[in-house]
Amino acid sequence: MTENYYPISYLNDFIFCPLSIYFHQLYGNMSERLYQNEDQMGGKAVHETIDTHRYSNHKSILQGISICSRKYGLCGKIDLFDVDKGILTERKKKITEIYDGYIFQLYAQYFCLTEEGFDIRQLRFYSYSDNKIYPIPLPEETPDMVKKFEKTIESLFEFDPTSFVQTNAKKCGRCIYSPLCDRSLADDE
């Protein structure tokens, strides 16, 4: 698709607000405490055992490994993949709703791993704070979602921030970058 690779996490960010990717990059290597809210810091804490490879010592459990998809131009890390059972799990602090961006991140992980020859038989989200599992259909079972996934990637690669117009004040109201954004609608609510 391309020689450029975007982080898998950009998919959810892009759907929320394409400009959030720009603002996240603007902060660069600054301390995340300066700009992340409590929910984001809590979500990061949930991933700590994965990022430090302390979730499991079973050799069949891959945790926090780097992945990429040449087809889609995406790279990132997985949370958990049980090689023996073929189960790919994305952990979230608390799931109240499963957004397309969440599913697209899981699909991206799926496509990265299948490009490397792994056999994935189940996709799921795990909500850490309430210990719930949410099964997600495999991409081949949801061709319309795969089309939306591919369209989102195409839009991400073609995005022109100079022509972006925000239309969703609710998103601005929940955005940690709203005070910096010249297109925020947060004050208009």
- Containing 12, the helix (H) or strand (E) segment is helix 10-16
Alpha-carbon span 96 to 51, nearest angstrom: 24
The single residue listed with the structure tokens 């996240």 is: 24
Angle at 3 between CA 119 and CA 73, to 5 degrees: 35
- Containing 43, the helix (H) or strand (E) segment is helix 38-46
Confidence (pLDDT) at 172: 81
Confidence (pLDDT) at 184: 79
Chunked mean pLDDT (size 10), the chain, 189 residues: 81 89 72 53 53 61 94 96 97 93 97 98 96 97 98 95 85 79 70
- Domain 6-160 sits in CATH at 3.90.320.10
Residue 27's CB is within 10 A of a number of other CB atoms, namely 15
Q: Where are the beta strands (DSSP E) in the chain?
A: 6-7, 61-63, 66-69, 74-77, 80-82, 87-92, 122-127, 132-136
* Report field, pTM of the whole predicted structure over 0.85: no
What does the DSSP 8-state code read for residue 49?
A: H
Kindly state the tokens that stand for 67: 């992945």
Confidence (pLDDT) at 48: 61
Confidence (pLDDT) at 69: 97
